[in-house]
Structure 1
Amino acid sequence: MGVFNNARRGPRTGGDVVRSRIASTAGGTDPYVFSYRHVEVHAYVLSQPVHHVLYCTYGKSRVDSSQPSAGTQTELTLRLPGSPALPEQWPADLLARAAREEIEPGHYLCLDTPRGTLTGFVFVTDPVLGVVDGPTGLIRFTYAVGLAGDDLERMLSWDPAKFAELACNRVPLGITSTRREPLSADPRDRAYLDRVVGAEGASIGAMHARYLDVDASGRVDLDPAAARAVIRAARHRLLHGRTFALLNGDTWLLFDPESPTTDLADDHIVVASPEALAHELLAVFDAAPGAYRLQSAPLKLRVLDPST
């Protein structure tokens, strides 16, 4: 009879494994389903270990397949506090958009517009759902941990994985809130972060720029967020003797403390970056729109607002 039932249902799929894994923590709770063009997001209102809503994508991994696949697949998760009669839609919208990208633990997401105190997310392996092995291969539940206030800036100045570990140790289950204070609001955590950031510097060696254009004259056009990344890198990468790059398609800008010369081309620039250049960037460069000419490198940095 068991063989007959299995033949009637067909082979076990990746979706069976995803649903079974969530059921192991959600019990018999039925999900609210948010449907999008390329993925669903299921929301479960749970009471254990604290009252919260678990959001999980369904369809980023191979949920309709029973065939093995190389590599580790992903479903994205997020948790909000409370027990609402109806789960809010914005976390589902956010996960559905994020599901279009290849996201792994250690990656992060910056919100263009903060939601309350929420300014972004850092991703870790879900502390409850973890990684499961199914007919299609390994499936990781990759968890979005909310960042509040200056959490995002402090994380980018240090190390996303290490910051995520600290945040999850301070916030039960790493639950996201739009009202949480940043970790730096606690004097002990602020002192700890100041110390480790100063000692270790930043682990992020490259960032995608929304807008970046260069040419062989030394002109560099970039958006304000990319300019902030350069300033951050000057303090937390270049002064530690580490490289930093901005990328946009085939165009790139590399600051290299070990390069003896600056290389200028119409699609890339490599900037010799001794301490003097880092200090000049920190002294004269700004993320406000405008033009900034450097003395320690043949560069003219123009910060532009691409929306205007």
Structure 2
Amino acid sequence: MSEEVATTGWDAIDHALVKLYGEQEPKHYGTLISYALGGQDPLDGISAYKSETPIPHWHFVTYGFSELYEKELNNKEYSGFGFELTFRLVRSDDEEEPPAWALNLLQNMARYVFNSGNVFVAGDYLDANGPICLGADTLLTALAFTDDPELAKMHTPNGKVTFIQMVGITEDELEAMQAWQTLGVLQAGIEQLPSYVTDLARASLLQNPVVVKAVERGIEDDGSSTGFLFVDQLAWQEGKTGWFSKPSHIVQLGAKQAGVIRQLLRGRILKGRSLRLVGQQVTLTFQANEQAGYDVNEQEVIISLNKEAVEELCQKLVPQEGQFELSSLADVNFQILKTYIKDQQGTVVKTIG
């Protein structure tokens, strides 16, 4: 006689959803081969519920970021990664099956988490570098993360679980979140984005002057909450010394990130905070200081900027290929490289700079 498998974590999620949706039978999508046994999908399952408020939409909930069965990890405080993802997507009146792309998107998020170990919390954002629904005519090219408005944090026998909701956002909304804060931008646009339901057909929240003013006021008052940024195109080249030349070190940045970094420098350094750029080969930290300068060690490059240096750098830091130096920062040049955006097949679909 086989031993019955405990489903403590799974049951806790089910219980939360029964409280919200009663006897509604969800559309549930499981996996034939578990990820632990070599399957391609990390999540054990995804349920999709029909919700009518505040507008008709699909409410997706994942099963698999938390510990669904017996407690296995040593961390007693959290169940697994400590969260499950949710996603709310506009639903038409005659739609009886949720779109497959949304299920694939959630599994892709799981692959990212399982492979990197990075978790999502409310206030995070993620650039998809293209439509969140491949091939769709949509402005939504990134994702923001916030607490699900209807599913509260749970305390299960396996540890705490928070329901984190993904929200599709536009490129300029992402830049505003980087320059200020994710939750502030979402809250500013709540009237256009009720319950943060994703609609592939929507325009940018920043088309609304009220939202723009709220973002501008937030940046001015609070600065940026983005303390570090992963940058694909980031390099530090040591200057060569010679009898008749002084060493000139070079900071290389991609054109795609130039405008974002410019915004972050204003929102961080001018507020007395540091900004850490993390690349594949080097970490570059900008910090506020009365005197501009730089320091290099094995782990990172530290560039100190005063107000004059920040203003000069922000003026010159544009998404256009080229090289420049700062009058207030000796021996360091900045080089902006073209950025090539590629699709999943590796074909260049957009060039920046």
User: Structure 2-normalised TM-score?
Assistant: 0.76
Q: Aligned partners of 1:289 and 1:71: how far apart in 2?
A: 48
The one-letter code sitting in structure 2 at the alignment partner of 1:48 is E
The answer (yes or no) to whether the contact 2:234–2:251 under 8 Å persists in 1 is yes
Which of 109, 123, 138 is matched with 1:98 structurally?
A: 109
Q: Aligned partners of 1:43 and 1:305: how far apart in 2?
A: 42
Q: Which runs of 5+ in 1 are unaligned?
A: 1-7
The one-letter code sitting in structure 2 at the alignment partner of 1:92 is L
Which of 117, 120, 127 is matched with 1:110 structurally?
A: 127
The answer (yes or no) to whether the contact 1:41–1:92 under 8 Å persists in 2 is no
Describe the SS at the equivalent of 1:281: helix
What is the match of residue 193 of structure 1?
Answer: 215
Indicate whether 1:64 and 2:64 are aligned: no
Describe the SS at the equivalent of 2:262: helix
Q: Which runs of 5+ in 2 are unaligned?
A: 32-39, 114-118, 133-137, 240-248, 341-347, 349-353
**Deviation of 1:181 (Å):** 2.2
**Deviation of 1:21 (Å):** 1.8
The one-letter code sitting in structure 1 at the alignment partner of 2:334 is L
What is the match of residue 271 of structure 1?
Answer: 303
Q: Aligned partners of 2:232 and 2:101: how far apart in 1?
A: 23
Which of 142, 155, 165 is matched with 2:164 structurally?
A: 142
Indicate whether 1:230 and 2:261 are aligned: yes
The one-letter code sitting in structure 1 at the alignment partner of 2:333 is K
What is the match of residue 334 of structure 2?
Answer: 301
The one-letter code sitting in structure 1 at the alignment partner of 2:26 is D
What is the match of residue 78 of structure 1?
Answer: 87
Q: How many residues align?
A: 302
Indicate whether 1:165 and 2:174 are aligned: no
What is the match of residue 278 of structure 2?
Answer: 247
Indicate whether 1:292 and 2:320 are aligned: no
The answer (yes or no) to whether the contact 2:130–2:142 under 8 Å persists in 1 is no
Runs of 4+ in 1 over 6 A off after TM superposition: none
Describe the SS at the equivalent of 2:224: coil
**Deviation of 1:142 (Å):** 0.7
Indicate whether 1:181 and 2:186 are aligned: no
Alpha carbons of structure 1 residues 290 and 42: separation in structure 2 relative to 1, 3 Å: same
The answer (yes or no) to whether the contact 2:274–2:287 under 8 Å persists in 1 is yes
The answer (yes or no) to whether the contact 1:67–1:135 under 8 Å persists in 2 is no
User: Structure 1-normalised TM-score?
Assistant: 0.87
The one-letter code sitting in structure 2 at the alignment partner of 1:237 is R
Residue correspondence of structure 1 range 114-129 to structure 2 within 5 A: 114-115=131-132, 116-129=138-151
The answer (yes or no) to whether the contact 2:323–2:333 under 8 Å persists in 1 is yes
Describe the SS at the equivalent of 2:131: strand
What is the match of residue 17 of structure 1?
Answer: 12
